[in-house]
Amino acid sequence: MDIKNKISNIVPNAEFKEQGDLIAVVPADSLHKVAEALRYDKEDAMDYLREIVGMDWGETLGALYYLESTTSHNRIVLRTETSDRENPMLPSVSDLWKTAIIKEREAFDFFGIKFIGNPDMRRLFLREDWVGFPMRKDYDLKSNELNMSNEVNADTTEEYSLNPDGTLSCKHNVVFNPEDFVVNIGPQHPSTHGALRLRTALDGETVKKVDPVCGYIHRGIEKMNESLTYPQTLALTDRLDYLSAHQSRHALCMCIEKAAGIEISERAQYIRTIMDELQRIDSHLLFYSCLVLDMGGFTPFFYGFREREMVLDIFEETTGGRLIQNYNMIGGVQADLHPDFQKKVKEFIKHMRGIIHEYHEIFTGNVIATTRLKGVGVLSREDAISYATTGGTGRASGWSNDVRKHHPYAMYDKVDFKEIVYTEGDSFARYMVRMDEIMESMHIIEQLIDNIPEGEYRVKTKPIIRIPEGNYSASVESSRGEFGVFLESHGDKSPYRLHYRSTGLPLVHALDSVCRGEKLADLIAIGASMDFVIPDIDR
Amino acid sequence: MGMREPKIRSMKYEEFKNNDYLEEMVKELNANGTNVVVTTADQLIDWGRSNSIWSFLLGTSCCAIEFMTLGAARYDMARFGFEVTRNSPRQADVMLVLGTITNKMAPLMKRLYDQIAEPKYVVAVGGCTISGGPFRKSYHVVNGIDKIIPVDVYIPGCPPRPEAFYYGLMQLQRKIKLENFFGGVNRKQPKPVEE
């Protein structure tokens, strides 16, 4: 049955918009009913909630729910809104998808929308004493001065529920009891890979609960985007997940090109694909180095960085940047390939294939590594989908979620590659997925590197691009999961709302359920094996 | 006593920029005359201090990854004597601020800075720490950490190249070489107030 009919059967007055993505507009009071029906649909269950995007439409506040099925990979967007700006309320879907708990917290933090039934309605990124909701259109950017006092974190969360007479009642859920022994890890800690803070309740050495506190590197990129023109917004994507700089920018370029109807040349597609895969190798090598370093091994760190420098040299020759390349542009790429590019890449692949055994000899078979990784931090497939932990973490749990396979973009439908899927779901599987992906990325590059067609590397575009009204989205498989771009345009030269799907936020959210019952020392190894990058979470 | 020159091995004095700043420091040092014994001891201690800088990494984003390359074999910061990186402020001489400092992070950065024992130095790495960088107009980014803590060396870039890191850190070494230790930086720490 068509998805439109399905929704119309439940809510007869649902409207459909097809400018860009297919959006079903449902009233707030029947949102939960529709979501539940789609989630547990017999033929095609929409069990993967990609993102909840909070929105401010001026008159109304609301949210967009991006759903996907893990079997047919069909996608649908639900839109709902409320006209109450003083005290906006929407029904929570956190009982259907666990990832909604943290995504709704984000929408609450930015828009002040209270989700009825969400057990955790605290701020996510901003200080708890922050005044106002910054992503609202009427927010005064200068209204919160720099506050140098220390922040006090509440030990309780708020849960709102609706009384039968329509009034709101608030229940307090306990995060940490006074008798809990809470250890504060971060934000200044070498193994949190950035400024992440984990409040960890311990029972002896065993982890009882992990409460991640985000926002120490929240830079407000999404709000800044609303005052930048489309070409200007590109520069900020590189700084989200700096180890997937190329891929993130690829996603935004793709989204804008799709919306503005710009066709890019085949040469540019080839270049983008090769660069994406090189970036993936670069990121996974750094993952290897950091994982081992966090577990106390220092020599493998040098191994990873030795080969990583070769990739960075290739990047630098063509793009001019080592870590952050600023290479993709709307309509293609910034500059043509360096004459030595193909030679260098082939040399690198030959070298890498010849040397990867050293990585495995020093670490993979090591008895300390296997005892600390195997069987530790198990994430089941159901939880992986419910928490929406995409990328290597999801694939280690047996969830086939590779965007390159299921929604091919650039050259990925023309090359042959395997999707690496493990079923154990433990730290070791997460590690092995990434090590195998290095090989698979090299396999992809090898198929493309000799066949790069001649032609333009960039289509000329106007300096100011206007995008027709509508909602557009694009997603890529970045080094650590599905990176999505969600754009709403009102026909202006700058986006009305530009939201990024963070690859790391679901991972950090899943830490709590993965780490419970494990030892504190394993928390570090689990965190490293999940491979999150904090600036991407906080945006 | 001759003029103290901040020498760096294999790098000529003229190859550095901002030498006028150091010359000002030398002038100040010599203004009140110099004590031969103390100055010689100062030079010895400063030589040791400048070649064994222990850094405290406040790495919040991209620049921290570039700093990791310094630790790896290709750029090898052990050559300069600052390979010992500490993650506790109490064991460090210099705080390297690597990455954007947001409003939520600022009080923590100040607290970490206060925990470092004197003599202490701060290096601001990357555009974000210097001025806010690409996020200058954001509602949640501190436009320059020098508004909160004093900064000794600025290393611009987004992120800076490893060579730029070295240039900046060598400038810090040169600065340390020109300081009076006795009666100077060893006395910077205010005495605890007795109650």
Give how far A125 is from chain B: nearest CA, Å: 9
Q: Same structural domain for residues A79 and A135? A: yes
State whether residue B107 sits within 8 Å of chain A by CB: yes
Q: Answer whether residue B62 is part of any domain.
A: yes
Residues A358 and A464 reside in one and the same domain:
yes
Reported as a single tens digit per residue, the pLDDT across A167-200 is 778 888 888 888 888 888 878 887 777 788 888 9
Q: How far apart are CA B163 and CA A290, in angstroms?
A: 23
**Are A413 and A498 in the same domain?**
yes
CATH of the domain at B68: 3.40.50.12280
pLDDT of residue A20: 79
Q: What is the mean pLDDT of the segment spanning A436-448?
A: 90
Rounded to the nearest angstrom, the minimum Cα separation between B143 and chain A is: 10
| Whole-number pLDDT of residue B33 | 66
pLDDT for B176? 84
Residues of chain A positioned with their CB less than 8 A from the CB of B137: 224, 227
Q: How many domains does chain B contain in total?
A: 1
Using alpha carbons, select from B84, A240, A533 the residue that is nearest to residue B96: B84
User: DSSP character for B104?
Assistant: T
Q: Under an 8 A CB cutoff, do A306 and B69 touch?
A: no
Q: Could you tell me which residues are beta bridge partners of residue A53?
A: A64
> Which residues contact residue A215 at a Cβ distance below 8 angstroms, ignoring those fewer than 6 apart?
A123, A124, A125, A126, A127, A538, B102, B104
Q: List Cβ neighbours of B194 (8 Å cut-off, separation of 6 or more).
A: none
**B positions 120-179 inside 8 Å of A (CB):** 134-135, 137-142, 148, 158-159, 161
Q: Which residue has the higher pLDDT, A263 or B28?
A: A263
What integer pLDDT is reported at residue A300 of this predicted model?
87
- Contact present, A308 and A239 (Cβ < 8 Å): no
Q: How far apart are CA A146 and CA A283, in angstroms?
A: 34
Helix axis angle, A427-449 to A266-294, nearest 10°: 150
Residue A165 has pLDDT above 80, yes or no: no
Q: Is the pLDDT of residue B3 over 60?
A: no
Give the pLDDT confidence score for residue A193 in this predicted structure.
75
Q: Output helix, strand, coil percentages for chain A, rounded to the nearest 5.
A: 40, 20, 40
Task: Please report, rounded to a whole number, the percentage of residues in chain A having pLDDT higher than 70.
Answer: 100
**What would the DSSP string read from start to end of B50-87?**
HTS--EEEEE-SHHHHHHHHHHSTTT-GGGGT---EES
CB burial string A196-205: b at 16+ within 10 A, e below:
bbbbbbbeee
Q: Compare all CA atoms of chain A with the CA of B102 and give the residue at the minimum distance.
A: A217
pLDDT of residue B183: 65
Both structure tokens of A85: 């700006």
The partner residues of A156 in beta bridges, in order of sequence, read A174
Phi, psi (deg, nearest 5) at residue A55: -140, 150
- Partners of A110 on chain B (C-beta within 8 Å) are none
**Closest chain B residue to A245 measured between Cα atoms?**
B62
Query: For residue A350, what pLDDT is reported?
Result: 92
A381 and A514 in a common domain? yes
The structure tokens listed for B169 are: 């850190």
Chain B residue with CA closest to A225: the answer is B138
- Give domain status of residue B7, yes or no: no
CA angle, residues B161, B165, B171, in degrees to nearest 5: 140
- Answer yes or no: do A306 and B58 touch at CB < 8 A: no
pLDDT tens sequence across A308-356: 999 999 998 888 888 888 888 888 888 888 888 889 999 999 999 999 8
Give the mean model confidence (pLDDT) for residues A492-514: 89
B1: confidence class by pLDDT, cuts 50, 70, 90: very low
Instruction: Please name the member of A139, A194, A301 whose beta carbon is closest to the beta carbon of B61.
Output: A194
What tens digit of pLDDT does each residue of A187-240 get?
888 777 778 888 899 888 899 889 898 888 898 888 888 888 888 888 888 888
Query: Is residue A28 one of the residues assigned to a domain?
Result: yes
**Distance (Å) from the C-alpha of residue B187 to the closest C-alpha of chain A?**
28
**Parent domain of A324:** 221-538
The answer to whether residue A66 is domain-embedded is yes
CATH number (domain holding residue A74): 3.30.460.80
Does A187 sit behind a cis peptide bond, omega within 30 degrees of 0 on the bond before it?
yes
Give the up-direction half-sphere exposure of residue B14: CA atoms within 13 A in the CB hemisphere: 0
Give the ipTM of the model, two decimals please. Answer: 0.83
User: For the domain that residue A231 is a member of, what is the CATH number?
Assistant: 1.10.645.10
Q: Is A151 exposed, middle or buried (0-12, 13-18, 19+ CB in 10 A)?
A: middle
CA A492 to mean position of chain CA atoms: 27
Give residue A281's pLDDT: 92
Give yes or no for B22 touching A (CB within 8 A).
no
Q: Calculate the average pLDDT of chain A.
A: 87
Q: Would you call B12 an interface residue with chain A, using a CB distance cutoff of 8 Å?
A: no
pLDDT, tens digit, 9 for 90 and up, residues B161-186: 888 988 888 888 888 887 777 666 66
Same domain, A407 and A505: yes
Whole-number Å distance between alpha carbons of B95 and B87 = 10
Q: B98, B140, B148, B158: which to substitute to probe chain A, counting the most A Cβ within 10 Å?
A: B140
For residues A397 and A533, state if they share a domain. Answer: yes
**A341 and A467 part of one domain:** yes
Q: Considering CB atoms only, which of A151, A323, A535 is closest to B159?
A: A323
Q: Is the peptide bond before B6 cis (omega within 30 degrees of 0)?
A: no
Chain B CB contacts of A227 under 8 Å are 137
Residue A237 in any domain: the answer is yes
Position A468 pLDDT exceeds 70: yes
Residues of A in contact with B100 (CB under 8 A): 217, 219, 535
Residue B14 lies in a domain: no
pLDDT(A50) > 50: yes
In a domain, A149, yes or no: no
Q: Do A460 and A345 fall into the same domain?
A: yes
The distance of B108 to chain A (nearest Cα, Å) reads 8
Q: Is B84 on the interface with A (CB under 8 A)?
A: no
CA distance B135 to B184: 38
Task: Quote the CA–CA distance of A293 and B76 in Å, as a whole number.
Answer: 17
A425 pLDDT exceeds 80? yes
In this prediction, residue A152 carries a pLDDT of: 79
Alpha helices in A261-366 (DSSP H): 266-294, 299-319, 341-359
Q: Which of A265-274, A325-334, A336-345, B7-16 has the lowest mean pLDDT?
A: B7-16
Whether A212 is in a domain gets the answer no
**Overall average pLDDT of the B72-89 stretch:** 83
Contacting residues of A for B135, CB less than 8 Å apart: 219-221, 224, 236
pTM for this predicted structure:
0.88
Q: What percent of chain A has pLDDT over 90?
A: 8
Q: Closest Cα to residue A35, out of A228, A56, A26, A444?
A: A26
Q: How many CB pairs under 8 A join A and B?
A: 125
Q: Which is nearest to B124 in space by CA: B174, B165, B90, B93?
A: B165
- Reference A403, options A476, A466, A502, A454; nearest CA is A476
* B42 close to A (CB below 8 A): no
pLDDT band at B195; cut points 50, 70, 90: low
- CB-count burial class (<10 Å; 0-12, 13-18, 19+) for A36: middle
Number of domains in chain A: 2
Cross-chain Cβ contact B140/A149 below 8 Å:
no
CB contact under 8 A, B60 and A216: yes
Q: Which two tokens stand for residue A262?
A: 């710009």
Residue A184: inside a domain: no
What torsion do the CA atoms of A58, A59, A61, A67 make, to the nearest 10 degrees?
A: -90
Pairwise CA distance, residues B31 & B77, whole Å = 36
Domain-embedded: residue B12: no
The phi and psi torsions of B181 (rounded to 5 degrees) equal -80, -55
Q: What is the rounded distance in angstroms from the CA atom of residue A24 to the CA atom of residue A7? A: 8
What does the alpha-carbon distance between residue A323 and residue B125 come to, in Å, rounded to a whole number?
A: 15
Question: Residue B109 belongs to what domain range?
Answer: 19-187
Three-state DSSP state, A118: coil
What tokens appear for A291 in the block? 């994982």
